[in-house]
């Protein structure tokens, strides 16, 4: 069974110049369900929740900051 991955491209404010120029890809939260059966157990389920994931895909075109610098600053601020 295959599932299509949903992702959203968003524009965020640059943490350096506060202009709306940074492109971020957002992968929403997902839940994985695991079922198993054994001779002694009729069936058990386990859940694994994958958190929201944000990937910075472009730097700032206004102030010239690179993708790595923007991602590092957003991580320090706790945004991503």
Q: What is the pLDDT of residue 1?
A: 43
When pLDDT is cut at 50, 70 and 90, the band that residue 8 belongs to is confident
With bands split at pLDDT 50, 70 and 90, how would you rate the model's confidence at 29? confident
**38-63, pLDDT tens digit by residue?**
666 666 677 778 888 889 999 998 99
User: pTM (2 decimals)?
Assistant: 0.66
Distance, CA of 7 to CA of 62 (rounded, Å):
26
Phi/psi at 74 (5° precision): -65, -35
**What is the per-residue DSSP string for 18-41?**
--S-EEEEEEPPEEEEEEE--SS-
């Amino acid at each position: 069974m295959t599932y299509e991955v949903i992702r959203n491209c968003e524009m965020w404010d640059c943490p350096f110049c506060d202009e709306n120029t940074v492109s971020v890809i957002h992968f929403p939260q997902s839940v994985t369900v695991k079922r198993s059966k054994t001779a002694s157990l009729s069936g058990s389920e386990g859940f694994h929740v994958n958190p929201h994931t944000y990937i910075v895909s472009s730097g700032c075109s206004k102030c010239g900051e690179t993708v790595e610098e923007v991602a590092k600053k957003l991580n320090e601020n706790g945004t991503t």
